Amino acid sequence: QKDVLGPGSIAILFDEYGLSLAHATDRSLIFTAVTPLDPQVEASLLAQGRLGGLKTIESTNFPELAEGIRQVESQPYFTHRLAIRDELFHAGAARLTTRPWTVIETVPESVFLAPIRQIRWTSDLAAGAVTLLVLLVTALVIWQTVKPLRELTLAARRLTRGELDQPLARLR
């Protein structure tokens, strides 16, 4: 299947030799090796007739993908590159229990990180709103605190000028 985990995601099934047995987006990649096979292994596979009428086994030559498939038991998550897109892919892999095959689901990094970027954008927006609210409340509190002091200062200046006929405003 393709696009299950998002746009551009791909499922690929590999056998124990790193041959693609199923590919969600490109059937021409079926029976291609993820890295060049040892010539003796290739000759043996071709002689067995398991690959239809193929005369040679082509390689896509993606060593990062081959390494990820080899280490699936200890490291089921890995990153790699593919020819279909010029960006890093994030892959999850699992071995099948009934055959020595590995299935991977791989997702372009832009799709993989999209939810994290969305959460970050939302949290940045919320942090900005909270900061603005705190600044407004702080300004209001400062204004309310300073206003009586300003009125008291004005009253004191009037007293020093001898203006005794104006009543003092009641300060809160």
**How many alpha carbons fall within 13 Å on the CB side of residue 53?**
0
Number of residues that this document lists for the chain: 172
Per-residue tens of pLDDT for the chain, all 172 residues: 565 566 778 888 999 999 989 888 788 888 889 899 998 988 888 888 878 778 888 888 888 888 889 898 898 988 888 777 788 888 889 999 999 999 998 888 888 777 788 888 889 899 999 999 999 999 999 988 888 888 888 888 888 888 777 776 665 5
SS3 17: coil
pLDDT of residue 98: 93
Q: Which residues contact 48 (CB under 8 A, 6 or more apart)?
A: none
pTM for the whole structure? 0.65
